[in-house]
Structure 1
Amino acid sequence: MYRIWIVEDDPNLALLLRDCLEKYSLAARCANDFEEIMAQFHQYEPHLVLMDVNLPSHDGYYWCRQIRKVSTCPIIFISGRSGDMDQVMALEYGADDYMTKPFHHELVIAKVRSQLRRVYGEYAGEARERVVEESGLALYLERLELKWKGRTVTLARKEADLLELLLLRYPLVVTREALLYKLWDDQQFVDENTLNVNIARVRRKLQEIEVEGGIETVRGSGYKLVLLKPDKLGEHA
């Protein structure tokens, strides 16, 4: 079931949108702390975001830019601002669509479904999709999905970038420096613990789809991906 995240500070409208989405068999959750938008985004990992422009603290344009640093999931703006420049700014900052209030709920559902089909469904353009695969573990970089033996888990952008490098170098060790550069370009401004946090997140994602093996820490060097075949599991017990 696709997960839709509603970032709207009008509680009545947010609940109406949630109920409407759930009526059409879409999972939906409303943001509840507008100071911790990115923490909630990582926790929920939505397939699509409905984003208001006028929000407490930072506006929707700001949060759109932050989400685009870690994810390519569709973002649809819902706003009372109807000016052309507002819509231009939303698209320039990475949004996929823009709707002005008031709007019919049927139109919201139609636009949400359209974006989901475009990115994840029948219009996703799989022929052009980048896929990195090793020993049955497949990473779909445009969809931000990881598949293993019929199981699928959704990744954040940084998690996908990290796994991409580990898969491309498999079964070799990837240094911490190489991972830091891949994820943040300029590693001197990144807290060392940030990489540890992302490694831990990816390990949990691998466990979710029951990958045999996982990410192994090579002390003093870095990390490597270990993919075990069923007949070799006993050797690593």
Structure 2
Amino acid sequence: MFKLLLIEDDATLFNEIRNRLTQWSYDVYGISDFAKVMERFSEVKPDLVLIDIGLPMFDGFHWCRMIRSHSNVPIIFLSSRDHPTDMVMSIQLGADDFVQKPFHFDVLIAKIQAILRRVHDYSTTEPVTLRTWCGAAVDLDKNTVSNAEGSVQLTRNEIYILKLLIDRRNRIVSREELIKSLWDDERFVSDNTLTVNLNRLRKKLEDIGLDRFIETKVGQGYMAADESDLHDR
């Protein structure tokens, strides 16, 4: 049974979501003291976290930062806010998805199932956890990319995107294919979410001189190139 930590201060909504998730055999935990979210996180050790943005003490963005500084556990934001910057901020902080309230419960379940299935399959069916690319070591287990210039830590989405591109290096991977591979069902995903993840991935790779090896093919998609191939062009 997967354990979910629901960080929601609306008691009525919390109970409704918990009851529905329990029917799907998820073990749902809540927060009683919103000053001690990280203590509760460490105690529960959840497989996935659901966070509201508007919370007592500190907002959901704060707790997302705190969780990300300790763990790569999947995070989904649940919020009634509808401004695009809220979704962009969520993704930039390392969240895996953003669900706007009010939402259809089937959509939330589909997103939770897709993320947990991806995480489970990724950790159990991928025997080779290291890749070499452009002189760098890509560790799929630790979510890091390292070369002579240093090392960068990626989120789960970022490392998954990079893996997909590296495994098909020198071939174009369409945006639609990336979205479908990453989130399973593109109907529930904003195209902007992929853009944010790719921009953030490139920014991190820039720190170790690898950003130029992720090429944008206008109107087609993206491609991970090898250093030798770029030199030949």
Consecutive unaligned residues in structure 1, runs of 5 or more? 131-140, 145-237
Change (3 A) 1:10 1:142: farther
Q: Could you say which residue in structure 2 is the equivalent of 1:48? A: 48
Consecutive unaligned residues in structure 2, runs of 5 or more? 131-139, 144-233
Code of the residue aligned with 2:87 in structure 1: it is Q
Change (3 A) 1:21 1:119: same
Instruction: Find the residue that maps to 2:82 and give its secondary structure.
Output: coil
> How many percent of aligned residue pairs carry the same amino acid?
40
Q: Does 1:16 align with 2:16?
A: yes
Change (3 A) 1:143 1:3: farther
Counterparts of 2:27 and 2:85, CA distance in 1: 32
Q: Could you say which residue in structure 2 is the equivalent of 1:58? A: 58
Counterparts of 1:88 and 1:124, CA distance in 2: 30
Q: Is the 8 A contact 1:35 1:57 kept in 2?
A: yes
Q: Could you say which residue in structure 2 is the equivalent of 1:88? A: 88
Q: State the 1:122 CA deviation.
A: 6.2
Q: Could you say which residue in structure 2 is the equivalent of 1:25? A: 25
Q: State the 1:29 CA deviation.
A: 1.0
Q: Is the 8 A contact 1:15 1:30 kept in 2?
A: no
Change (3 A) 1:125 1:86: farther
Counterparts of 2:92 and 2:100, CA distance in 1: 17
Q: State the 1:31 CA deviation.
A: 1.4
Counterparts of 1:128 and 1:30, CA distance in 2: 36
For these two proteins, the number of residue pairs brought into alignment is 135
Q: Could you say which residue in structure 1 is the equivalent of 2:79? A: 79
Change (3 A) 1:83 1:123: farther
Q: Could you say which residue in structure 2 is the equivalent of 1:129? A: 129
Counterparts of 2:66 and 2:37, CA distance in 1: 9
Cα RMSD of the aligned pairs, angstroms, is 2.3
Q: Could you say which residue in structure 1 is the equivalent of 2:2? A: 2
Q: State the 1:28 CA deviation.
A: 0.8
State the TM-score, normalized to the length of structure 1: 0.53
Q: State the 1:106 CA deviation.
A: 1.1
Change (3 A) 1:70 1:30: same
Counterparts of 2:29 and 2:107, CA distance in 1: 19
Change (3 A) 1:124 1:60: farther
Change (3 A) 1:102 1:123: farther
Change (3 A) 1:128 1:17: farther
Instruction: Find the residue that maps to 1:121 and give its secondary structure.
Output: helix
Q: State the 1:84 CA deviation.
A: 0.7
Q: State the 1:56 CA deviation.
A: 0.6
Change (3 A) 1:27 1:35: same
Counterparts of 2:142 and 2:48, CA distance in 1: 12
Q: State the 1:36 CA deviation.
A: 0.2
